[in-house]
């Protein structure tokens, strides 16, 4: 039985996986007895499997599976079924961790036992900017309402499972659906709603490396359909108190992706955007000024 389970999904990751696992080894140092590493190789046809097999003996309590799901949601949910840890964290096969960070996370989680330890991802495009600078975990407590507000404002953290430390009970009650994208967005709002003790770490331990060819740079109609469905589920999950902030997400879909919307979804999104044209929206202290400005500009163009 491990205390923390680290889940990695890999697909044709031969160019990045070695460096990722090297960073993981450095991040775990000193806490190997409390950690298990679970690596799923999903349908790779390069040397990903060879890299996994080379690294497996290095890690404590390591498990590996080769599957042909071609589905990140199914991979993550299947990997969770093997996890024994009280806490779960995810690591993408092309990202990096700070040295000693997993060791320090384990120490903090054992002492404080939060439902969620959320962290700010360090988004970079140039791997030359990666440093070993790490000051340990000293997170601040967030109320559930404040955590939801920050999530909806895209302030500090978004609907990512990578880099976050989440109690297994939240995965058990919010199983990751079988989806090829946005699977984390599908479960994150529900996890927040079921969490009472949430802490947030601003000094990031996780390098989220933005690469060309990523999900965000290759959006199509099927992915936007999934995004709409996840946003609709989020709207149902979160209290009415957050309606204006949820509607800002609808506005983003309308502004950035309306060319990919089906007729049915286009009608739904336009209906939500109309709700922004209200006095209560413009007077809301939760809504950032930049959104209010964009909504006014969109109204002016009509």
Q: Which residues pair with 207 in a beta bridge?
A: 96, 122
Summarize pLDDT for 211-254 with one digit per residue, the tens. 876 555 578 899 999 999 999 999 999 999 999 999 999 999 99
186 C-beta neighbours (distance < 10 Å), count: 21
Summarize pLDDT for 14-57 with one digit per residue, the tens. 999 999 999 999 999 999 999 999 999 999 999 999 999 999 99
pLDDT reading at 166 higher than 80: yes
Pairwise CA distance, residues 267 & 163, whole Å: 36
Q: How confident is the model at residue 99 (pLDDT cuts 50, 70, 90)?
A: very high
pLDDT reading at 1 higher than 80: yes
Beginning with the edge strand found earlier in the chain, give each strand of the sheet holding 122-124 in spatial order.
96-97, 206-209, 122-124
Q: What is the 3-state secondary structure (H, E, C) of the chain?
A: CCCEEEEEEECCCCCCHHHHHHHHHHHHCCCHHHEEEEEEEECCCCCHHHHHHHHHHHCCCCEEEEECCCCHHHHHHHHHHHCCCCEEEEEECCCEECCCHHHHHHHHHHHHCCCEEEECCEEECCHHHCCCCCCCCCCEEECHHHHHHHHHCCCCCCCCCECCEEEHHHHHHCCCCCCCCCHHHHHHHHHHHCCCCEEEECCCCEEEECCCCCHHHCCCHHHHHHHHHHHHHHHHHCCHHHHHHHHHHHHHHHHHHHHHCCHHHHHHHHHHHHCCCCHHHHHCCCCCHHHHHHHHHHHHHC
Summarize pLDDT for 74-88 with one digit per residue, the tens. 999 999 999 999 999
Section 246-266 average pLDDT: 95
Q: Which residues contact residue 166 at a Cβ distance below 8 angstroms, ignoring those fewer than 6 apart?
A: 87, 88, 89, 115, 116, 117, 191
pTM equals: 0.96
């Amino acid at each position: 039985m491990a205390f923390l389970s680290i889940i990695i999904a890999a697909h044709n990751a031969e160019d990045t996986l070695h460096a990722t696992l090297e960073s993981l080894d450095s991040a775990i140092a000193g806490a190997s007895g409390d950690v298990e590493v679970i690596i799923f190789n999903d349908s790779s046809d390069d040397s990903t499997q060879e890299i996994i097999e080379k690294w497996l003996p290095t890690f404590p309590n390591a498990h590996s599976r080769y599957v042909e799901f071609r589905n990140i949601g199914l991979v993550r949910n299947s990997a969770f079924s093997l996890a024994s840890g009280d806490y779960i964290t995810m690591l993408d096969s092309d990202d990096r961790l700070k040295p000693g960070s997993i060791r320090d996370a384990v120490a903090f989680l054992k002492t404080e036992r939060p439902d969620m330890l959320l962290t700010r991802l360090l988004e970079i495009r140039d791997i030359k900017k990666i440093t070993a600078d790490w000051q340990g975990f000293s997170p601040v407590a967030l109320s559930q309402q404040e955590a939801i507000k920050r999530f909806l404002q895209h302030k500090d953290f978004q609907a990512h499972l990578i880099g976050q430390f989440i109690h297994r009970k939240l995965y058990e009650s919010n199983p990751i659906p079988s989806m090829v994208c946005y699977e984390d967005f599908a479960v994150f709002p529900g996890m927040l709603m079921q969490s009472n003790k949430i802490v947030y770490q601003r000094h990031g331990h996780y390098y989220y490396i933005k690469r060309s060819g990523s999900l965000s740079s290759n959006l199509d109609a099927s992915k936007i359909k999934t995004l709409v469905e996840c946003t609709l589920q989020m709207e149902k999950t979160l209290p009415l108190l957050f309606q204006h902030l949820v509607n800002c997400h609808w506005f983003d879909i309308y502004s950035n992706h309306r060319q990919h919307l089906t007729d049915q979804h286009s009608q739904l999104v336009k209906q939500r955007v109309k709700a922004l044209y209200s006095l209560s929206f413009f007077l809301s202290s939760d809504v950032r000024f930049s959104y209010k400005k964009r909504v006014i500009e969109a109204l002016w163009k009509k």
